Amino acid sequence: MKKTIILAASALMLLASCDDMLDKAPRDKFVNNPEFWNNVNQVESYSNRFFEQYVGYGQSGNYGWFYFKSLSDDQVNPDFDNWDRTSVLGNDSYWSNPFTEIRRANYMLAGLKTSTLSESQRNHFVAVARLNRAWQYYQLVRMYGDVQWYEDVVMDPDPNGSQSEIIYQARTDRDVVMDHVLDDLNFAVANITTTGKNNWSVDMAQAMKSDICLYEGTYCKYRTQADNGKAADMTRANKFLNECVKASEAVMAKNYKLNANYGDIYNADDLGGNTEVIFFRNYKLNEIMHSTGDYCCSSSPQRGISKDAFDAFLFRDGKPLATTTLNKSDVPERVEYIQHDSKGKVVLDEDGKPVVLKDKDGNTRYVYSIEKMLAVRDKRLSKLVDPILSLAHHEWERAASGSSMASSTGYTIAKYDNLNQEPKDRISINRNISDAPLWTLPIIYLNYAEAKAELGTLTQTDLDNTVNMLQARADVKAISISPEADPANNMNVSNLLWEIRRARRCELMTDNWIRYWDLVRWHQLDKLDNTKYPNINRGANVKAAMAQDADIVYNVDADGYIIVNTAQRIYDKKYYFYPIPSSQITLSNGTTTQNPGW
């Protein structure tokens, strides 16, 4: 594999706050000599470049980790999301970019070997490099399985040079790579000395370790020889699940605390003092901005949540759709279109009555409300989506001055829209400034409960101190250690694991591509086959709306649910791995092999 020597390192502004990294001058170049690695400011500047890999809400008009990862059963892209890779590419940034960052980390590790920094300072920077090497290898292993492990910098990138055998070595067994990843994480946890919620910290490293170890533990428990090339390994699974528990406990022992309201972390101008947040990406008006909020409030058609996702939320009695005694109707109600101001508040006339909007002919305008549905369900759903369906010919504005919205499924995603921002900035490309939460206390709670449930050591007290804290905030009945069966359980797992997985889905829906990789590690990727699971391609019930308004014409099924598109996403076991770029196979003269099925 050919790599380019990178001899430039700009100090990163992306995660910075005014009192730390934003005050540090950028370094466009460095001279690779011992003096560079002996200077703490220069080494810190070099290490700050790693922050670029924590994308958050993205930057400028680019997509980020939230909302746009709609290859899942949670969202439906109107343009259709097929499998992320359906053919072998010659070159692929998913392969090359992580190796670039791994080389950056190894280059730093090589320079620090002879550094005269104090032992504590040197170990801190070694820990930062190893933390980020671990993060990149985790991404690679999730996608490709076996990948070459490099722990020394390749100084001669010439494919015919002295280190060509190292460059083009065979892919390393993915289990071996993940053992190295755990070693790197443990070193980072033991040696990082800086603090802060948008800086490298022990808590951030523990949170990353919690995530990675949960993935590895469950992946190794549920993988199969036929689909993944390796049989399940319970010894290995238990090892990583226990490491997840340890890392999660370390974070939970700190002073983090849930916010009173779900969703507050997704549309806040500043997460620096938020007690729920462990690590975030900072944005600042006119300096570093994104567009995620704009895409969620003034773009059409939006990537709405699916019927399958909507139906996943429990009712307030703690029961699922199949067994609840509450009103389970999903037929929207036709209501007058009430005007809202720029903050989303109802506009009142001089008599104190809501202002009803009219069309150009003076006729009352109507929209379709799902407020009654939301009132009897998990409160997270009402934070995630709007109370009004956004339909073609019946578009709806979340707040005055915003563009009218239409959603692929009728359900519009609201939780990333920052109504506190100036309207002109809120609805503009590259003017959004909400900070992006990357690791939070709810993630740790969910990781901990799931890992202990998989180990068979979860108690009711554990549940009450973690997942049920989230349930209480969502005004949903607590989960019992022995929950009732849900007929919708199609994953062949216990009732308890099904409910923990549901809680994770509802708490983190549309966040950071989490759902896709959850399905991979649970060995449930077939759930993205829309020919077998049609509800992942369906939206709101509009049968009544179509009957009442002749101008509403949708492609619907026999029961009146929107069918977003007719394209088929058919599962094949080969999709558990991405294809290795063909150029890597060619350059290695066959030493690098292709993944099965590709």
Largest CA-CA distance found in the chain, in angstroms, rounded: 84
For residues 542 and 367, give the distance between their C-alpha atoms in angstroms, rounded to a whole number.
12
In order, the DSSP letters of 411-432 are PPB-TT--TTS-HHHHTSTT-B
Q: Which residues contact 164 (CB under 8 A, 6 or more apart)?
A: 156, 158
Amino acid at 251: V
Q: Kindly provide the b/e burial profile for residues 533-558, where b requires at least 16 CB atoms within 10 angstroms of the residue's own CB.
A: bebbbbbbbbbebeeebeebebebee
What does the pLDDT read at residue 165? 66
What does the pLDDT read at residue 158? 62
E strands, 402-486, are 436-440
What does the pLDDT read at residue 425? 93
What does the pLDDT read at residue 160? 62
Q: Which residues contact 454 (CB under 8 A, 6 or more apart)?
A: 217, 218, 221, 237, 241, 497
For residues 45 and 72, give the distance between their C-alpha atoms in angstroms, rounded to a whole number.
38
What does the pLDDT read at residue 31? 60
For residues 430 and 63, give the distance between their C-alpha atoms in angstroms, rounded to a whole number.
11
Confirm whether pTM is higher than 0.95: no
Contact 451, 214 (CB under 8 A): yes
Domain ranges of the chain: 1-55+91-194+576-598, 301-417+534-570
Query: Cα dist. 232→179, 359, 563 in Å?
Result: 16, 62, 37
Cα(first)–Cα(last) distance of the chain, in Å?
19
Judged on CB neighbours under 10 Å (0-12, 13-18, 19+), 53 is middle
For residues 320 and 328, give the distance between their C-alpha atoms in angstroms, rounded to a whole number.
10
What does the pLDDT read at residue 233? 98
Using DSSP, state whether 541 is helix, strand or coil: strand
Question: Could you say which residues of the chain have pLDDT below 50?
Answer: 1-28
Judged on CB neighbours under 10 Å (0-12, 13-18, 19+), 165 is exposed
Using DSSP, state whether 114 is helix, strand or coil: coil
For residues 366 and 5, give the distance between their C-alpha atoms in angstroms, rounded to a whole number.
61
Architecture per CATH, 1-55+91-194+576-598? Alpha Horseshoe (1.25)
Contact 424, 411 (CB under 8 A): no
* pLDDT one-digit tens code per residue, 66-85: 999 999 999 999 999 999 99
Contact 366, 394 (CB under 8 A): yes
What does the pLDDT read at residue 9? 28
* DSSP conformation class of 492: S
For residues 17 and 25, give the distance between their C-alpha atoms in angstroms, rounded to a whole number.
13
What does the pLDDT read at residue 159? 60
For residues 24 and 289, give the distance between their C-alpha atoms in angstroms, rounded to a whole number.
19
453, 454, 455, 460 alpha-carbon torsion, rounded to 10°: 0
- Percentage of the chain surpassing pLDDT 90? 83
Q: How far is CA 565 from the centre of its chain?
A: 24
